[in-house]
Amino acid sequence: MSCCAGLLGINRSAVLGAVIAGGKSTRFGSDKALARLRGRTLIDQVAETLATQTADLVVVGREHAGLRHLSDQPRPDLGPLGGIAAALIEANARGYAAVLTAPCDAYDLPADLLGQLFPYPAYVASLPVIGLWPAWAADHALALLASDEVHSIKGFAQRISARAVQLPREPANINTAADLERVERHGL
C-alpha cells in the first residue's frame, strides 16, 4: 500500500487497477502499447506501477499476456471513457470501492499515484485518463456515453464532482514516435 494513501484512509485492497489500452495508435504509426522505452514495453511499465498500488489489475480494450482483459463498454471505439466505464462496471461486480486508471502510453507514473489522487474522485489535470474513480460512477459514465454530449473524461469528471489534481511531476504522454524518441533521449 502507498504510505500516503494508507494514512489518508484508502487501502489498495479496495482498488482495482485498470490500464486503458483500447486506442488505435494512429498518431504513433504502430502499436504504441508495445513500443519499448528503456528496454520495456509501455503497457508493461504502466501495468507494473498500477499493480503495486491496487489489489488486482485489468487491461481494457486489448488483450495482454498474463492480465485479465475487459472490452470497452458499452462498445468499442468510444474513446478512453469506454475503457473507464468497463473498469467501473468490473469494480462494481467484484466489490471494489474504486478504480485507479492510467493509459497504456503514460510513462513514469508516480509510485504513490493512489495517494496523490486521494480523496477521490480525482483525476490528473494534464492527463485525465489517469484517475481514481468511485465504482458507483459506472452508471454516470454509461449515461454520458449514451448521450449526444461529447464523450470526454472531463465531462464525466464534472458529472461526478471529481477534482483535478496537479502532480508534482507530470508523467509523459507518449502519443507519437517523436514523443517516444524525446523521452528516450532526454527523459521527461
Confidence class for position 1, pLDDT limits 50, 70, 90: very low
Residue 24 clears pLDDT 70, i.e. is over it: no
In the prediction, which pLDDT does 154 show?
97
Q: Spell out where 65-185 has E strands.
A: 68-70, 98-103, 106-107, 122-124, 127-134, 163-165, 172-173
- Name residue 6's amino acid: G
DSSP assigned state of 86: H
**Mean pLDDT along residues 17-22:** 92
pLDDT in tens, 28-76: 554 666 667 677 888 899 999 999 999 999 999 988 888 999 999 999 9
Strand partners, 172: 107
In the prediction, which pLDDT does 172 show?
81
- Residue ranges making up the domain that contains 143: 3-186
- The domain tally of the chain equals 1
In the prediction, which pLDDT does 4 show?
40
In the prediction, which pLDDT does 94 show?
98
What are the cell numbers at 158?
A: 464534472
In the prediction, which pLDDT does 183 show?
66
pLDDT in tens, 134-185: 999 999 999 999 999 999 999 999 999 999 999 999 888 777 666 657 767 7
CATH number of the CATH domain containing 57: 3.90.550.10
In angstroms, the CA 40 to CA 72 distance is: 25
In the prediction, which pLDDT does 114 show?
96
In the prediction, which pLDDT does 48 show?
95
Residue 146: CB atoms within 10 A of its CB come to: 11
pLDDT in tens, 80-134: 999 999 999 999 999 999 999 999 999 889 999 999 999 999 999 999 999 999 9
